[in-house]
């Protein structure tokens, strides 16, 4: 029977490991605080019997790390080597047939309804994007069949082309989109997110 799998890519909330680009902009202490907040929100809303949640951890040895925001009830796997596309492909290939969703931990506005809407959209579409305002995406979901290949090769990660490159790899498959959000990647993103949150 097809299943629903949710992969959350995460790093330990330690200075020098998580949110290094953000730390260069706003300082390591503030970046660590924001990362803890965003990670807690994501993992809290990721809990549901409707899908199997797996925390994909980097570096690999951190799979055994004790992190306050990482519930022991969530399974953990190492991300392995390679770029983000290699690591996402490895997770996709390991997932059972069904609906597969990818998230990071830098989306503090994530709500459970976002994941439910993704599953609903995947009933009639091959893939779903949660687009970010910087040209990337905060969520990606895809139906996995027997012959389905992961669309993460030759993607210009961490650029404004990331979503477009993955979209191109999907060719003519039907795509659904959630609302655009802000990922907390740099100082400008944090400023925009805080302004939007206050509004």
End-to-end Cα spacing for the chain: 44
- Check pLDDT > 60 for residue 1: no
As beta bridge partners, residue 8 has 55, 103
The reported pLDDT for the residue numbered 199 is: 55
Buried b (16+ CB within 10 A) or exposed e, 25-59: bbebeebbebbbebbbbbbebbeeeebbbbbbbbe
pLDDT digits (tens, 9 = 90+) for 179-194: 999 888 788 888 888 8
Whether pLDDT at 51 is above 90: yes
Q: Which domains does the chain have, with CATH numbers?
A: 3-198 (3.90.550.10)
Tens of pLDDT, residue by residue over 115-131, are: 999 999 999 999 999 99
Assign 162 a pLDDT band (cuts: 50, 70, 90): very high
The mean pLDDT value for 25-53 works out to 88
- pLDDT at residue 171 is higher than 70: yes
Angle between helices 28-45 and 112-121 (to 10 degrees): 60
Nearest Cα neighbor of 99 from 55, 134, 143 is 143
Its pTM stands at 0.92
For 86-117, write each residue's pLDDT tens digit.
Answer: 999 999 999 999 999 999 998 889 999 999 99
Mean pLDDT to the nearest integer, 134-156: 96
Question: What does the alpha-carbon distance between residue 41 and residue 197 come to, in Å, rounded to a whole number?
Answer: 15
pLDDT band at residue 3 using 50, 70 and 90 as cut-offs: very high
User: Alpha helices, DSSP H only, in the chain?
Assistant: 20-26, 28-45, 84-94, 112-121, 162-169, 187-198
Mean pLDDT of the chain: 90
pLDDT at 19 over 80: no
Residues above pLDDT 90, as percent of the chain: 61
């Amino acid at each position: 029977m097809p299943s629903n799998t949710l992969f959350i890519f995460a790093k330990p909330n330690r200075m020098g490991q998580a949110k290094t680009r953000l730390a260069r902009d706003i300082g390591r202490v503030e970046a660590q605080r924001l990362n803890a907040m965003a990670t807690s929100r994501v993992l809290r809303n990721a809990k549901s019997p409707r899908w199997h949640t797996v925390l994909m951890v980097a570096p690999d040895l951190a799979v055994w790390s004790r992190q306050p925001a990482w519930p022991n009830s969530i399974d953990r796997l190492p991300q392995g080597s390679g770029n983000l596309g290699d690591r996402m492909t490895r997770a996709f290939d390991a997932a059972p047939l069904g609906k597969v969703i990818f998230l990071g931990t830098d989306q503090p506005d994530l709500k459970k309804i976002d994941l439910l809407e993704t599953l609903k959209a995947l009933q009639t579409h091959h893939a779903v994007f949660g687009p970010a305002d910087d040209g990337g995406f905060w969520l990606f979901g895809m139906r996995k069949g027997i012959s389905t290949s992961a669309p993460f090769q030759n993607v210009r990660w961490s650029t404004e082309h990331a979503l477009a490159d993955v979209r191109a790899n999907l060719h003519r498959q039907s795509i659904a989109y959630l609302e655009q959000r802000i990922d907390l990647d740099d100082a400008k993103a944090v400023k925009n997110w805080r302004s939007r949150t206050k509004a």
